[in-house]
Amino acid sequence: MKIAIASGKGGTGKTTLATGLALSLIDQGPVWYLDCDVEAPNGHLFLKPDFSRQVQAVIPIPQIQSERCTSCGRCVEVCQFHALAKVGKKILVFPQLCHGCGSCTWNCPEGAILEIPNPIGVLESGLTPEGIYYSRGLLTVSEPMPTPIIRQLKRLETPPADAIVILDAPPGASCSVVETLRGADYVLLVSEPTPFGLHDLKQMLGIVTDMGIPSGVIINRDGIGDDRLESFLDQNSLPVLLRIPFSKELAMGLAAGDSLIRVLPEYRQGLRNMYAQILEFINQGKTS
């Protein structure tokens, strides 16, 4: 079972929900938490894993073998990302523009291109005190591309068949969110009842509809803002799975690194019920 948690707008409570859910389900099967916000991962601050493994996230970039290269320029022509340029008789490589697709390598008529790994970040994993498998990607500062790291993080280790896999998505609604959601069985959309929360939720609904993944909405900071989110959800018959009212006590606890269910233990049952509801929904879909 793979559940992704996304929001569009940043700071709506994705990590709060994702860590709270992970901690609530520890007796229901092996829980795997993948922190896919590789630009600004925060799940470890709440789950406090002991990182036992670290590997580099790399993309293969071309290295021109000058003794074989005839400077024909075919590699420059086929590269869609302007990562190669021909200056005089020399072929230059720009690693930060390279997507690692391999097209230049295959198209070189002289076989003059070797691929070498270019590190763009690290992947780390380990167990939390509760036995949750936690892994995260960390994009190196000044590197532009988070998406390959997310792709590699999801392949780092294979969860057991009965695992509950929780994917904490990055904010926004672009390619890195899509990469996180690929293969998910269900998406939890965390929103807040403000015009910004609603606007960005609509962006996310566009993505889950395109990808054909079922989703439900969690309203965080319920009670602030206005009722436009509520009427939008009503009009579009979108289910609200859980509400978390705004509370200064919770905000203070989260600020200090306490989890949702440590500050407000009554949410453990709420999250477990929500999970049961999602499970039932998915299983119904499979049998019908």
Partner 1 sequence: MKSIDRARQLVILSGKGGTGKTSLCAAFAHLSSQPAYALPTVFVDADVDAANLSLVLKPEPSPPHEFLGGVLAEINPDLCTACGACVPVCRYDAILPDARRESVYWIDPIACDGCAACSYACPTGAIRMVQQQEGLWYQSITPFGTLFHAELFPGRENSGKLVTLIKQYARLWADDSHAPVVIIDGPPGIGCPVISACAGADLALIVAESTLSGVHDLKRIVQTTTHFRIPTLVVINKADIYPEGVTQIQSVCRELGIALIGQIPFDRTVTDAMVAGEPVTVYRREAPSSRAFSAIWEIVFDRLITPGGTHDRS
- Residue 190's contacts (CB-CB under 8 Å, 6 or more residues apart) are 5, 6, 7, 12, 13, 14, 17, 217, 218, 220
CA distance 164 to 245: 26
Give least dist CB 90 to partner 1, A: 23
Phi and psi at 12, nearest 5°, equal -90, -15
DSSP annotation of 159 reads P
**C-beta closer to partner 1: residue 88 or 144:** 144
**C-beta closer to partner 1: residue 246 or 281:** 246
Give least dist CB 96 to partner 1, A: 9
**C-beta closer to partner 1: residue 6 or 166:** 6
Q: Which of 94, 55, 58, 54 is nearest to 76 (CA)?
A: 94
**C-beta closer to partner 1: residue 90 or 202:** 202
Q: In sequence order, what are the beta bridge partners of 126?
A: 51, 134
The tokens 């490589």 sit on which residue? 93
Give least dist CB 141 to partner 1, A: 4
Give the residues lining the site for partner 1 (CB under 8 A).
8-12, 15, 37, 39-40, 42, 45, 78, 80-81, 99-103, 106-107, 139, 141-146, 170-178, 182, 194-196, 199-200, 203-204, 206-207, 210-211, 224-226, 248, 251-252, 254-257
- Residue 75's contacts (CB-CB under 8 Å, 6 or more residues apart) are 62, 64, 84, 91, 104, 107, 108, 113
**C-beta closer to partner 1: residue 87 or 255:** 255
Give least dist CB 194 to partner 1, A: 5
DSSP line for 111-147: --EEEEEEEEEEEEEEE-TT--EEEEEEEPTT----H
**C-beta closer to partner 1: residue 28 or 63:** 63
Give least dist CB 56 to partner 1, A: 18
Give least dist CB 204 to partner 1, A: 7
